[in-house]
A and B are shown apart, each in its own frame.
Chain A
Amino acid sequence: DGGITQSPKYLFRKEGQNVTLSCEQNLNHDAMYWYRQDPGQGLRLIYYSQIVNDFQKGDIAEGYSVSREKKESFPLTVTSAQKNPTAFYLCASKVRGAYEQYFGPGTRLTVT
């Protein structure tokens, strides 16, 4: 069953702790993306990666970090430097040469 998986679905952390969100795809897509969604603001790009071992900052990268050691995996770490980490996080991927992205089910992170 092909697709994009994100885990966990819900995540709770205390302020000051780093937390890593998982994103895995078995679609053999080259590019992967992380977005943050806040109510009424649409989606904002955090980081993206077009090939293994390479990634670029998006519009709101401060306080986040990523790695791309394998084609199928693109984990996102939300660090303690991120001032407002509570949000819904979406991972997406696409084939090189295509326009559209395909999204995972999302992880809702709550930091208190």
Chain B
Amino acid sequence: AQSVTQLDSHVSVSEGTPVLLRCNYSSSYSPSLFWYVQHPNKGLQLLLKYTSAATLVKGINGFEAEFKKSETSFHLTKPSAHMSDAAEYFCVVSEESGGGADGLTFGKGTHLIIQP
């Protein structure tokens, strides 16, 4: 069975400083991994995805994540935080193929706070 652990429920950084949101996963097979962002009372937007190609994945809005199989990690980073980055971030794993059954497994989320 697959699972996802987001190591921090809240992260607070100052505007202009780096962002690090940590995610560890457990999977029996080669997983696909995603990061989604959710602004208050909105749906989820796909930030980036890893599907067994390059281990360093670049996403939208300057975010990137690195897949490290030996550490079973998929941490999300951004060099310089912007006020508009304040949101909830979800790390997500899928063991299934694209035609698979029960969708994605979500972490519990990390609330990113940006201090002015």
Contact = CB atoms under 8 A, between A and B. Distances in A.
B99 interface: yes
A95 B97 CA distance: 12
B46 A106 contact: no
Contact of B98 (A48, A58, A98, A104): A98
Contacts, number: 64
Contacts of B44: 43, 90, 92, 103
B23 to A, nearest CB: 12
Contact of B43 (A33, A56, A100, A103): A103
Nearest to A9: B41
Interface residues of B, number: 25
Interface in B17-42: 32, 34, 36, 41-42
A101 B104 contact: yes
Q: Counting chain A CB atoms within 10 Å of each CB, which of B44, B90, B106, B109 scores highest? A: B44
Interface residues of A, number: 30
Interface string A18-44: 000000000000000100000011110
Contact of A43 (B34, B46, B90, B99): B90
A108 B40 CA distance: 12
